[in-house]
Amino acid sequence: MQEFIKCDHCDDHSVCEGNTKPCPFPDVPVEGDFIVSSCGPLGCRSNVSVLYQPRYCQEFSGPDQEKKADDYIRLTMKAEHFYPNVWTQDDHGGYTPRRP
């Protein structure tokens, strides 16, 4: 018998029935996901980090900080041939899916 992992996104479990992999639609970041958050005085910089992989941590500042962060994420994904989820972390610690 296969182990069942409950999916919060599929109320009737029609998509996830018998699935032994994590939910394809997580509502929080998982290992390897990019996280973009504001940092610095009054959010004047954007910080890009990858959950559990500090080598990707970058900070961008200036009027086009969001564009710089998105460009960095796109280029890194293309170079690594790996396309994880991207999230924005708000000032209260909540996460929202983001499209770079």
H/E segment holding residue 79: helix 65-80
pLDDT of residue 78: 94
Distance, CA of 64 to CA of 26 (rounded, Å):
29
pLDDT of residue 98: 86
pLDDT of residue 43: 66
What are the residues facing 39 on neighbouring strands? 45
Q: Are 87 and 35 in contact (CB under 8 A)?
A: yes
Q: Are 13 and 64 in contact (CB under 8 A)?
A: no
pLDDT of residue 71: 92
pLDDT of residue 56: 75
pLDDT of residue 75: 92
What are the residues facing 45 on neighbouring strands? 39, 61
Provide block-wise average pLDDT over 10 residues at a time, the chain (100 residues).
48 49 69 84 76 75 85 91 88 84
